[in-house]
Amino acid sequence: PGEAPGQGGFSIIDLRDLSNPAQVKTVRSPASAPNPVFTGGAGHFWDIDDGGIAWHTGSGGTAAFDITNPLNPLALGGTNAEGVKTPLNDFIHHNSARPNAGSFKPGAAPSLANGNVALITEEDYANDGDEVACDRSGTFQTWAVPDLDGATYRAGNPGLEAGKGTMTPLDSFQAPAESGGGLSTPVGGFCSAHWFDYHQSGVIAQGWYQQGLRIIDVNDPRTIKQSGYFTAGASEVWDAYWVPARNADGTAKANREKTNIVYTADALRGIDVLEVSGLPPAVQPRKPTRPAKDPFQSPANPR
């Protein structure tokens, strides 16, 4: 929903009474702005990073929100004009993650350690036959996040229109067209990237529909590289999950460390359990210079 027909937005829901949830309000979002496929606009996914910033993906690209006051979220920025057109968004920005967000430093060189790289899936399975053409189907992308200066962003974009943020694309990747090998049956069918999960080594596990599981190294966000894959004939991998590392008592480790085991959710095969060897060392985040309780507060970015 949006504030007006065709604008695109999201709902804030009051869940204090779980038997009677209530919509409190709707809020405009650049990420759910209309495009030629979703003419009324469509938001898709929320990810809240370890810096407390909420990321919204959808038909209008990707946008960041300060949700310190959850009833009055403030737009902080989003993808630039490249995020609302071919080849980086033919259908929808599907889901995202920003590793090491607590180490964010405005203006720093894009790197996982600096917390200023957004990882984004572009799903595309219903656009002029792209669902059966791997070289035109949905991609996995890296984007630079140069700032989260919400005051400047909102002043220059009071209508919260899509494509007016400062985030810029670094690289995009299509499997198996770029990497070679790994084609499932039918060859070339239903190729789009879908859900992914980030590993502390700077490697993601990505479900790629009929092209199986893709293991992708993003340590150099300007040069995305496939490290491996698993396909199994008739397959449709929707999601991939790194298994959490656990303490001796069985609880997951507080730092979200993950093992080298991947579970895939496959619409045809069920669940596959896979072991990934040769992962790089863990990325060492830059030490944050701001208080952990509010890593994005600054005089230039008032809340």
Please check whether residue 162 is in contact with residue 219, taking contact to mean a CB–CB distance below 8 angstroms.
Answer: no
Q: What is the mean pLDDT of the chain?
A: 89
**pLDDT single digits (tens) 58-71:** 999 999 999 999 99
Q: At residue 128, does pLDDT exceed 70?
A: no
The single residue listed with the structure tokens 């829901």 is: 13
Q: At residue 76, does pLDDT exceed 50?
A: yes
**pLDDT single digits (tens) 236-266:** 899 999 999 999 999 999 888 999 999 999 9
Rounded Cα–Cα distance for residues 96 and 272 (Å): 23
Structure token pair of residue 65: 């929100």
pLDDT at 288: 64
pLDDT band at 130 (very low <50, low <70, confident <90, very high): low
pLDDT band at 5 (very low <50, low <70, confident <90, very high): very low
Please check whether residue 177 is in contact with residue 188, taking contact to mean a CB–CB distance below 8 angstroms.
Answer: no
Residues with Cβ within 8 Å of 102's Cβ and at least 6 positions away in sequence, in order, are: 50, 51, 115, 285, 288, 292, 295
pLDDT at 176: 79
**pLDDT single digits (tens) 138-181:** 999 999 999 999 999 999 999 999 999 999 999 999 987 777 66
pLDDT band at 191 (very low <50, low <70, confident <90, very high): confident
Q: At residue 7, does pLDDT exceed 60?
A: yes
CA separation (Å) from 44 to 74, 93, 163, 173? 18, 8, 17, 21
Report CA 135 to chain centroid distance, whole Å: 21
- Average pLDDT score over residue span 120-130: 80
SS (H, E, C) 205-251: EEECECCCEEEEECCCCCCCEEEEEECCCECCEEEEEEEECECCCCC
pLDDT at 49: 95
Amino acid at 100: N
**pLDDT single digits (tens) 279-298:** 999 999 987 655 444 444 43
Predicted model pTM: 0.91
pLDDT at 303: 44
Percent of the chain with pLDDT over 90: 73
Please check whether residue 132 is in contact with residue 188, taking contact to mean a CB–CB distance below 8 angstroms.
Answer: yes
